[in-house]
Amino acid sequence: MSTDAASLRAEILKLTRAYSALTHKANRPGAEAAVSFAAGVTTVPYAGRVFTEDEVEAAVASTLDFWLTLGAEGEAFEREFAGFLGVKHSLLVNSGSSANLIAVSALTTHKLLLHKRIQPGDEIITAAAGFPTTVAPIIQQGAVPVFVDNDPVTGNVRVDQLESAFSPGKTKAVLIAHTLGNPFDLGAVLEFCRRHDLWLIEDNCDALGCTYSMPRERARALGFTENSPGIAPDGVNITRYTGTWGDISTQSFYPPHHLTMGEGGAVNIVHRSPLKTYAESFRDWGRDCWCASGKDNTCNKRFGWQLGELPEGYDHKYIYSHLGYNLKPLDPQAAIGRQQLRKLRSFIEARKQNWEYLRAGLAGLEEFFDFSLPTHATAWSPSGFSWEANGCRTDCSWFGFMLRVRSTAPFSKSDFARHLDEKKIGNRMLFGGNLVRQPVFVQLCKDRPEAFRIVGNLAGADSIMREAIFVGTYPGLSRAMLDYVIAMVWAFCRR
């Protein structure tokens, strides 16, 4: 065996690929992983990592370089991911939760005009049912979340309650998630935000690859004239990926999500470049300097600044304009993400096909379950969806397949969940359900009743909390796995 570095590296990477191909067969895309499935013995996960030897090789190669901290792979991923979505900038962070924290923090900067800056006591409108770290950054930054209800059919925010949630002079932003890969009503939310000059943060953590389409004239009135990259124009509508309609959007790259780095996330700056500088400062300790790790003096005046009450010429790399964090991921994670990004379109398509396969397979069980619909759809049939007359459409890159157990069913959601568990079928509730019922918010209400505000009775969020459950649609599911899920749901209902 040759002992020069290049030859050793090549041999290590060759062996890495061989090892991964032997060891990680169950993590390959569904059709390739099918050989390892045994019905009733092998667990059908609700989500999981899907990868090949490409990702393992990339991780090892980056580790061999041993730069480790965010560097060339991170810069490349940020550039490639922004190009995929069609946004100005993408900024890597260490999780989707951190992405939401940075997105909110960026809008608190003193560098914004006062009427646009989120300050303690200002309000941010959000949805009641969902994941807690969509909401937590609002409170962590001293603002007040205003909870509006969810529509149980789509899982998304009830846009008819937005005006009731608005408080002149106090409301500064809207921060809501696209639930389980189903886009919320972006047309109505954007019009509301434009009417009141509010920021829109899209929590896109569960929805990478979803698209939202609206009639061209309506889109133009909102400031949009082009489709996202890779989407062919149809001459009638503007179609863009979710995460590209608001001012800032967030992503999660945790294993259940549409692509993974293990841990990781991103903040997407859609069109206002200065927001990238603010977000980057909060991500990188709060420093004023924008040099990447290992680089100095990209502003060509490293020792020529005078900020705060520091002496003139103080090293710009150690000037801090914000109370920030250190929320960067590692470069080997970005190397994995770049390989995942090359598979993303096939992952998205698999999620759509798996949802449709489950829906067709469970048709006929409507007496037991209410099934989800994409936003703006009015009904499902084997030939497709029927749609509202407003011309808006959604194309969902589904995170999961949600069912709601009907109140007239002869079993409860808990009965159904226990059955799925017994049959080794992974399932989840809609995350935290109605968040205001969670212990942390109950206690917060006792300690500081002014810490959040509720619009209406949140009946839809309560319905989701009590009735909703979802199973997987991720690309690692084979047809044999999906057939087993369908068979076990039918068997339970017949029983």
Residue range(s) defining the domain that contains residue 465: 344-494
CATH, residue 307: 3.40.640.10
Mean pLDDT, to the nearest integer, of 303-324? Answer: 94
Q: Which residues pair with 271 in a beta bridge?
A: none
Distance CA 118, CA 108 (A): 5
Same-domain status, 306 and 348: no
Considering the domain boundaries, does residue 55 fall inside one? Answer: no
pLDDT at 20 over 80: yes
Same-domain status, 282 and 350: no
Q: Per residue in 366-410, pLDDT tens?
A: 999 999 999 999 999 999 999 999 999 999 999 999 999 999 999
Residue 169 pLDDT grade (very low, low, confident, very high; cuts 50, 70, 90):
very high
Same-domain status, 314 and 402: no
Which of 300, 318, 336 lies at the terminal end of a domain, its last residue? 318
Same-domain status, 88 and 220: yes
pLDDT at 202: 98
Considering the candidates 257, 258, 322, 419, report the single residue annotated as catalytic.
257
Which of 303, 318, 333 lies at the terminal end of a domain, its last residue? 318
Same-domain status, 294 and 355: no
Distance CA 250, CA 372 (A): 24
Q: Per residue in 131-152, pLDDT tens?
A: 999 999 999 999 999 999 999 9
Q: Per residue in 328-337, pLDDT tens?
A: 999 999 999 9
Domain tally for the chain? 2
Same-domain status, 288 and 228: yes
Same-domain status, 314 and 354: no
419 catalytic per annotation: no
Q: Among residues 376, 261, 393, 392, which one has the least CA distance to residue 328?
A: 261
pLDDT at 61 over 80: yes
pLDDT at 2: 63
- Name the helix (H) or strand (E) containing 60: helix 53-65
DSSP 129: B
CATH, residue 490: 3.90.1150.10
Same-domain status, 367 and 247: no
Please give the share of the chain, as a percent, with pLDDT higher than 90: 95
| Helix spans in 119-185 (H) | 132-140, 162-165
Reading phi first (left if > 0) and then psi (alpha if -120 to 50, else beta), residue 477 is in beta
Q: Among residues 403, 67, 322, 138, which one has the least CA distance to residue 75?
A: 67
Q: Among residues 27, 28, 1, 26, which one has the least CA distance to residue 14?
A: 1
Considering the domain boundaries, does residue 158 fall inside one? Answer: yes
Considering the domain boundaries, does residue 295 fall inside one? Answer: yes
pLDDT at 63 over 80: yes
pLDDT at 353 over 70: yes
pLDDT at 168 over 90: yes
Same-domain status, 312 and 350: no
Considering the domain boundaries, does residue 13 fall inside one? Answer: no
pLDDT at 31 over 80: no
Residue 77 is encoded by which pair of tokens?
């991923």
- Please state, rounded to an integer, the average pLDDT across all residues of the chain: 96
pLDDT at 34 over 70: no
Amino acid identity of 44? V
Exposed, middle or buried, 438 (CB in 10 Å: 0-12/13-18/19+)? middle
Mean pLDDT, to the nearest integer, of 202-225? Answer: 98
Same-domain status, 314 and 377: no
Residue 1 pLDDT grade (very low, low, confident, very high; cuts 50, 70, 90):
low
Same-domain status, 131 and 195: yes
